[in-house]
Structure 1
């Protein structure tokens, strides 16, 4: 089996393992926007949207804070991985 990085999406670890070029965070965001990817939390957001105010807004703010913390953690891990790959 002769795999190439082009056999995988840049969102798959094997893409990089097989020598695929690292895409920037801006390129990642653009690719996700083009694909119109639904949030993995879509069902949760639907349930929250059915709540009354101010509980709805309070819950959304808490989720936003958590997501922003997770994003910061993930970006740090991404940058660390890129450095380790010497790219």
Structure 2
């Protein structure tokens, strides 16, 4: 008879609600940043950033800085909310009798905020790389 395998948080990425349902600890922002760097992820704004990077100077730098400002503001807002939902998860876990046996809003909230931070970091890393290169003003 085949034994059933028990799932653990390691079976899921911190961006998945089941990671938290199974007891996974929300990663610190520094850990999220390191994971982004390790995987070389560019984020969901890839096409938007590529279009801005393809422009001629000075429009290129202006567009990239605007995207960077938006991404930085998004990161700060998402970090603030991430702290709130992580505290909510901790409180939720302190009342084990009240927990359902399925994924709840608190698990989804933490995973969603993790993913937003993951994308914000990816955008900012790439934008820093692009802004560190000055294109020739006469580059056609």
What SS is found at the alignment partner of 2:55?
A: coil
- List 4+ stretches of structure 1 deviating above 6 A: none
**Contact 2:49–2:67, Cα closer than 8 Å, also in 1:** no
The CA deviation string for residues 37-72 of structure 1, in whole angstroms up to 9 with x for no partner, is 122222222211221121111111111111111101
- Counterpart-to-counterpart distance in 1, 2:56 and 2:39: 32
Residue 103 (structure 2) pairs with residue 84 (structure 1)? no
**Corresponding residue of 1:24:** 28
TM-score (norm 1): 0.84
Q: For structure 1, which runs of at least 5 residues remain unmatched after alignment?
A: none
Pairs aligned (count):
87
25-34 vs 39-48, which deviates more? 39-48
**1:50 maps to which of 44, 48, 54:** 54
Distance apart, 1:8 and its partner CA: 0.8
- Counterpart-to-counterpart distance in 2, 1:49 and 1:81: 35
What SS is found at the alignment partner of 1:85?
A: helix
Q: For structure 2, which runs of at least 5 residues remain unmatched after alignment?
A: 92-140
